[in-house]
Structure 1
Amino acid sequence: MQEIDNRSLTSRAFEQLRADIIGATLKPNERLRIQALSERYGVGATAIREALSRLVPEGLVVFEDQRGFCVAPMSRAELLDLSRIRIDVESLALGYAVQRGDIQWESDLISAFHRLSRTLPPFDSTQQPIWAEAHRQFHAALIAGCGSPTLIRLCSLLYDQSERYRNFANDQRESAKRDVGAEHKDLLDAALARNAEELTKLLASHFNRTTEIIQNVDFMEQGSGARAAGARTSSRA
């Protein structure tokens, strides 16, 4: 019973830490001190340490000898690389979804779009979690028909990495210049039309527009450089 409780606490700490890193509450390169996090989340030090260790393979947390854990750094170079790889991987998943997706896939996709289209855009921090969840579900629904659990897991991992950048930048003035609702509607229409070529073209444009906005944020290079590069290598070893 104690073992189950410990696993539950670790899972809770993992989800809370993950959400705070992706949501940009915890900033790039921020030192993650076990005791402070234990008090913050109301769980024991062991659960926090295990949760942080689980976040290292996801690329959200870095562990350095003699220094402990810190939030993974961010850089324009990584953002551009992440965007390119995400377009390639999700385009592959979309191609499979168009080929293999059934009526249930179409129904779930329409439902996810309806929810997103009826959710107010995040003009302030109180609306952000609600819109973010609807947005995540729509993009997940797009690829859900691909029939490959491996591709879906990889897309989810890349989505989280991209979401961290988007949340950290969070430039509403630039975002307001886009008609994101129309972009999502175009993606929906191309998916339902089973037009893989148009769908992947629209997806690339959708992701690239977001990347262009994020990379113009002045603070993006903060904390990057030699130390960040070394930390990133350490996290992937």
Structure 2
Amino acid sequence: MNKIKTIPSSTTLSDQMVKAIRRDILLGRFLPGDKLQMNELKQYYQVGGTPIREALVQLVWQHFVVMEPQKGFRVAPISLDELRDILTTRRAIAGIALEKAMQRGDEEWELSIITAFHRMERIQLDQPDVDYEEWGERHIAFHIALIQACNSPMMLSTLESIYNQLERYRHIWLNGDLDQVTRYHDHGEHKVIMDAVLARDLQLSLQLIEEHYQHVIDLAESLSPENFSERVKLHQRLKA
């Protein structure tokens, strides 16, 4: 942790720290199981201990960080079982939300989906200088746009949290350190999902979304439990 970040002074410094630490977890700068040392974080972000501690507590509530009695904070661990559980929960809620969105969605909803898709598509994952952070944000925005018209703040909030949890696993299958074979590729998956949703074909949409996430779980499950852990450790060494 030798790179120094500067966070501007603000009355919402704790909120800024939540976003900064969360972003660095999603980018794999802090990896699952990493101990988050207060002194190192203060130097890294160039802020005091209070906003960092407040941010870490909020990230515990958001399941990005765990707090261990007498031991402090660590980045939340990951596992294949948890990944499967996240995807199962997403499947149950997203299906209901998508059906409601199709029933209530208007032209403005359709245009928001098209816009979100084109913003995501502008970032090509095959490019060597791809911005994975920006792609991740646009990827979540696309999936949220699909269900935005469901008119249920609770479902939208829950699904956004689920998609953020999925992002914690992204470096396993999508980062610049992976070769072209093991890295995730879109292969037009989001385009066909968009077309099916805009056609209000619920069953096809659900099938395509399921295949989309099955693609991701297949990449993770292609690794043995030992290799799954080794992939995390390898990424950690490459980021050091």
Q: TM-score range by the shorter chain?
A: 0.7 to 0.9
Kept in 1: contact 2:26–2:170 (CA 8 A): no
The one-letter amino acid of 2:29's match is T
Q: CA RMSD in A?
A: 2.1
Counterpart of 1:220 (choices 225, 228, 231) is 228
TM-aligned CA distance change 1:48 to 1:148, over 3 Å: same
**Distance (Å, rounded) in 1 between the aligned partners of 2:129 and 2:67:** 30
Alignment of 1:41-120 (within 5 A): 41-120=45-124
The one-letter amino acid of 2:205's match is L
Kept in 1: contact 2:173–2:183 (CA 8 A): no
**Distance (Å, rounded) in 1 between the aligned partners of 2:133 and 2:113:** 20
Counterpart of 1:135 (choices 114, 127, 139) is 139
Instruction: Report the alpha carbon displacement of residue 214 of structure 1 after superposing the two structures with TM.
Output: 2.2
TM, length-normalised to structure 2? 0.83
Task: Please name the residue that 2:202 is paired with.
Answer: 196
Number of aligned residue pairs: give it: 218
Task: Please name the residue that 2:6 is paired with.
Answer: none
Kept in 2: contact 1:87–1:207 (CA 8 A): no
Kept in 2: contact 1:76–1:221 (CA 8 A): no
Bigger relative contact order, structure 1 or 2 (CA pairs below 8 A, ≥6 apart): 1
**Distance (Å, rounded) in 1 between the aligned partners of 2:135 and 2:188:** 16
Q: Deviations for 1:146-205, whole angstroms, at most 9, x for unmatched residues?
A: 111111111111111111112244245346675x25211111111111111111111111
Kept in 2: contact 1:122–1:128 (CA 8 A): no
Gaps of 5+ in 2: 1-8, 231-240
Instruction: Report the alpha carbon displacement of residue 39 of structure 1 after superposing the two structures with TM.
Output: 1.1
Counterpart of 1:211 (choices 207, 217, 233) is 217
**Distance (Å, rounded) in 2 between the aligned partners of 1:173 and 1:89:** 33
Kept in 2: contact 1:119–1:134 (CA 8 A): no
TM-aligned CA distance change 1:182 to 1:15, over 3 Å: same
TM-aligned CA distance change 1:37 to 1:174, over 3 Å: same
Instruction: Report the alpha carbon displacement of residue 119 of structure 1 after superposing the two structures with TM.
Output: 2.0
TM-aligned CA distance change 1:135 to 1:175, over 3 Å: farther
Instruction: Report the alpha carbon displacement of residue 7 of structure 1 after superposing the two structures with TM.
Output: 4.6
Counterpart of 1:182 (choices 178, 188, 192) is 188
Identity %: 34
Task: Please name the residue that 2:5 is paired with.
Answer: none
